[in-house]
Structure 1
Amino acid sequence: MNALHGQGWPQFGELALAFVLSALIGIEREIRQKSAGVRTYTLVGVAAALFMLVSKYGFDDVLRPQAIVVDPSRIAAQIVSGIGFIGGGVIFMRRDIVRGLTTAASVWLTAALGMACGAGMPLLAIATTIGHFVIMFGFPKIISRLRINRKNDTILRLVYEDGRGLLRTILLRCTQCRFTIEQVRVSSHLSNDEEPLTRDGSPVAPISHSATVTLFMRVRGKRPITHLVERLSEIDGVRMVETSEDEGPE
């Protein structure tokens, strides 16, 4: 049996294809400054391809008809299981928000295209790479046009003490709570017939018109608006925070 069986130009070509395709995905992730970059993705893709080649050709010298049987699909299954360690390493939580899921999924996809290259399925590997770029670049544009998150817009009305520089603190608190501020309107006085209420509907202490500012904000976020209301209410000098669907910035 030829000692170089399974180590010819076709196999080198499959490794090279895995190298190029996985590097392309890694470059896209590197440009976006994700936790896993071009080196990680290239290593994952090439290693997966090599595992598949070893699975296909690495045991020919020990195979015996009707005596020793090797199932190449077992290597593929182990790659799928093992790549989970790398994927899990790029997932982390910041505050109560999970980060890195897309990066972990793309690492998993890179391993799959490397397996396809090693299994001698270049067309599937190329199609998978194209699909990756469609997902990463095309889907965000589609979602932004559909404005799926528009229903999460909320109008907030705040009354806070004037002359204490609280506007900057309020805006910063919204950003820290991962809410986007769409519009802002500030009024330096309350109308005479306006009686501010707390969140449970009970009247708050009388507010001096000359010493307070009314702020209307349109905010957008994926978290419950009650979380933002609670955080804004904790600011010293904020007299009242409420949500409104009828009033808002002009």
Structure 2
Amino acid sequence: MVLVTPVSLAVEAVPELEQAVDLAIALVLSAAIGAEREIRQKSAGLRTHTLVGFGAALFMLVSKHGFSDILSEHVTLDPSRVAAQIVSGIGFIGGGLIFVRRDAVKGLTTAAAVWLTAGVGMAAGAGLWLLAALATVGHFVVMLGLTPLAARLPRSRHTPYALTVSYIDGRGAFSRILTECGARDFAVSELSIEQPGERREARTVTVSMTVHGPGSIGDLTSALAGIDGVLTVSSQDAGARQL
């Protein structure tokens, strides 16, 4: 006959309470990272990051406590094997977030955020609460602090920029656009022209082109905007990794 005392019940309840706290911490921290991605309207947002971190914590807890009933002097298990499989397995989700458009790679930062969220969940599931919290803080430092810094770093003369210019057809704007690019040492590597329809009894033409050169892209866009007949000018780093 096995006697169950209040003391033994309390001992069994404490680990279960700690496991629940581990899961709750993983849920909150993963949701915080996911909220930042959701605000930026990325392909993986609040729900994806929360589920990744929460699931990683669950796998860690199962790895730590789920096989204690079969352990003996003849049976030994390596709990780190589950953690290693989480790290490699999360790559399938990250790979689905990365895509290539022409020469630009998109989604790398979001995929890295998912990978980090899995690490946060694993740390929380392992009971390393402080480490999980510091990793979450580090995520916000990188995303919110380093983004403005990266924008101020000097660009290579070979950095491609995507220019989109809308102008009214029939005023010679297109030839002046190309002339202005050449005068400012920008080479045009790709070019496409669209004519969506009518506008004020004159056709509105939109030209998209990729340029690169040693000059200032801001000065180029300002010069193009001043050409007679040009309606709008926009530019972006064609090779930028979206944050």
TM normalised by structure 2 equals 0.66
Letter in 1 for 2:139: H
Q: Does 1:86 align with 2:125?
A: no
Distance 1:41 1:220 in 2: 28
The structural deviation recorded for 1:27 is: 0.4
| RMSD, matched Cα | 3.4
Mapping for residues 186-201 of structure 1, pairs under 5 Å:
none
User: Which is greater in Rg?
Assistant: 1
- Aligned position for 1:122: 129
Letter in 1 for 2:146: F
Deviations 1:217-238 (A, max 9, x none): 9x88566xxxxxxxxxxxxxxx
Q: 2:52–2:117: 8 Å Cα contact kept in structure 1?
A: yes
Q: Does 1:131 align with 2:138?
A: yes
Q: Does 1:19 align with 2:27?
A: yes
Letter in 2 for 1:72: P
The structural deviation recorded for 1:109 is: 0.3
Q: 1:11–1:53: 8 Å Cα contact kept in structure 2?
A: yes
- Aligned position for 1:204: none
Q: Does 1:184 align with 2:184?
A: no
Distance 1:52 1:46 in 2: 10
Q: Does 1:60 align with 2:94?
A: no
Q: Which deviates further from its counterpart, 178-187 or 100-109?
A: 178-187
Distance 1:82 1:182 in 2: 45
Question: Alignment partner for residue 207 of structure 2, among 173, 190, 196?
Answer: 173
What is the aligned residue count? 186
Q: 2:34–2:47: 8 Å Cα contact kept in structure 1?
A: yes
Distance 1:131 1:178 in 2: 35
- Aligned position for 1:110: 117
Letter in 2 for 1:18: A
- List alignment gaps of at least 5 residues for structure 2: 1-7, 161-168, 178-192, 195-204
The structural deviation recorded for 1:182 is: 3.7
- List alignment gaps of at least 5 residues for structure 1: 155-160, 189-212, 224-250
Distance 2:75 2:159 in 1: 65
The structural deviation recorded for 1:35 is: 0.4
Aligned in 2, Cα 1:5/1:87: closer, same or farther, shift over 3 Å? farther
